[in-house]
Homo-oligomer: A and B are copies of this chain.
Amino acid sequence: MSATERVRAAYARLSEVDRPEVWITLRAEADLLAEAKEVDRRVEGGERLPLAGLLVAVKDNVDVAGLPTTAGCPSFAYRPERTAPAVARLVDAGALVLGKTNLDQFATGLVGTRSPYGAVRSALLPDRVSGGSSSGSAVAVALGVADIGVGTDTAGSGRVPAAFNGIVGIKPTLGLVPTTGVVPACRSYDAVTAFAATLDLAQRAIAVMTGPGDDPAAAPGPRRPPVRGRRPRGGRAGRGRARAAEPAARAAFAAAADRLGLPLREVDISPLLDAAALLYDGALVAERYQAVGEFIDGGAPDLDPSVRAIIGAARDLPAHALAADLARLDAVKAAGVLDGCDALLLPTAPEHPALAAVAADPIGVNRGLGTYTNFVNLLDLCAVAVPGGTADGGPFGVSVVARAFDDQVAIDVAARLTGEQAADPYPDTGTDLVVFG
């Protein structure tokens, strides 16, 4: 399929799906067709473009030159002169940017409803939330409009929407993909992520986006070399048991764990859950205030009430409390978070709420959604979210969590669930994998 054909198909699909809330800025088909023609010309000329003609939906807190960046807040919008390196690398590889997508404002939320551009509905169950904050990018992929969704993830924003829309989301190790040109949420814990219908494509997108950035102020940058392949090492065995919050999810999780076909053992994840609580209940949210607090205090009329409340409250947190929380995180990290194993299988989210449930309790429902995702970035882990069956009448997602820079470990384990890697599996008798329990 040529790039031109892909563009025509995408716009045809766009008109079918009638999900205007997915987009904040949608580019004109004629502009895409002109770019597609150029890509087709280069490919015909023998150029190797690994993502030739693939359509990309970019979360609207990530800069694309020529398009406004709103971060889900019209009055915050600016027009960047430069495309974020993560996106520029996709374009250099032949991908075409279809537009900018809706998000929970300032990437503060896991629901997908905190936006003046409208609540984003799940691609599969329109009465349920899309998940967020990378809501539009995930739904654009799930609907078959875009091939690759660019998201960001601080607390699960690149994984929860994958779960709620039946697709794959990769949250790479912090620093692998530069956050230059991204509106910060919590600067120290922000990652650029990729959604795709398949693990294979999501992995290819992440691989293209990976590499040192050029703006030293934007992010700490990789502290070790980029993604390396490593097999989970042999080790302990055991049988996993699911304990997801909802009964339906428990059965789905147990089935997914079985489907892995690996010996499993249970691990106590309570230290991880305690660490996760720090993200919103502790002082780390001060980083959100540092990023956009002055703007929030300006009282713009288009602020989401939940976002305003969360970020605004961070103004008065004391610095010594932040110092204490950072010390707690270091202690959890130093104690070893995967109980000596290489990977951890978890539900991506404990439940998939209806839009009405979120509207009734926007902060409470949101908080619960991050149970199994919040701790990942705080503890410098990487994660891959993949479809894990069905539960409660909809898609159920599971995540494979691994140590920093063990991204390939997480991908290889996740591939056992998506069935994309049949060749050369690990021996069943020695993989050091755990499930929560």
Contact = CB atoms under 8 A, between A and B. Distances in A.
Contacts of A187: 323, 327
A316 interface: yes
Contacts of A286: 318-320, 322-323
A323 B220 contact: no
Report, as a range, how many residues of chain A touch the other chain.
Answer: 20 to 34
Nearest to A321: B319
A223 interface: yes
A287 B323 contact: yes
A30 interface: no
A231 interface: no
Nearest to A331: B217
Interface in A269-306: 283, 286-287, 289-290, 293
A427 interface: no
Interface string A312-340: 00111111111110110011011110000
A83 interface: no
Interface string A115-135: 000000000000000000000
A320 B314 contact: yes
A211 to B, nearest CB: 15
Nearest to A216: B334
A188 interface: yes
Interface string A211-244: 0000011011101000000000000000000000
Contacts of A315: 318, 320
Contacts of A219: 330, 334
B223 A223 contact: yes
A130 B36 CA distance: 72
A309 to B, nearest CB: 16
A320 B216 contact: no
A289 B320 contact: yes
A295 to B, nearest CB: 13
Contacts of A320: 286-287, 289-290, 293, 314-315, 317
A219 to B, nearest CB: 8
Contacts of A317: 318-320
A330 B188 CA distance: 10
A326 B290 CA distance: 11
A331 B188 CA distance: 12
B283 A319 contact: yes
Point out which of A290, A320, A326 has the most chain B C-beta atoms below 10 A from its C-beta.
A320
A340 to B, nearest CB: 14
Nearest to A326: B188
Point out which of A187, A286, A322, A335 has the most chain B C-beta atoms below 10 A from its C-beta.
A322
Contacts of A287: 320, 323
Contacts of A293: 320
Contacts of A323: 187, 286-287, 289-290, 322
A221 B334 CA distance: 8
A322 B286 CA distance: 9
Nearest to A335: B216
Contacts of A321: 290, 319
Contacts of A335: 216-217
Contacts of A319: 283, 286, 289, 314, 317-319, 321-322
A301 B22 CA distance: 63
Contact of A290 (B220, B223, B324): B324
Contact of A330 (B220, B290, B314, B331): B220
Interface of A: 187-188, 216-217, 219-221, 223, 283, 286-287, 289-290, 293, 314-324, 326-327, 330-331, 333-336
Given A216-B333, A220-B333, A286-B323, 8 more contacts: A187-B327, A216-B336, A286-B320, A290-B321, A290-B324, A316-B318, A317-B319, A318-B318
Q: Which 8 A-B pairs have the closest CB atoms?
A: A216-B334, A286-B319, A317-B319, A217-B331, A290-B323, A319-B322, A289-B320, A290-B320
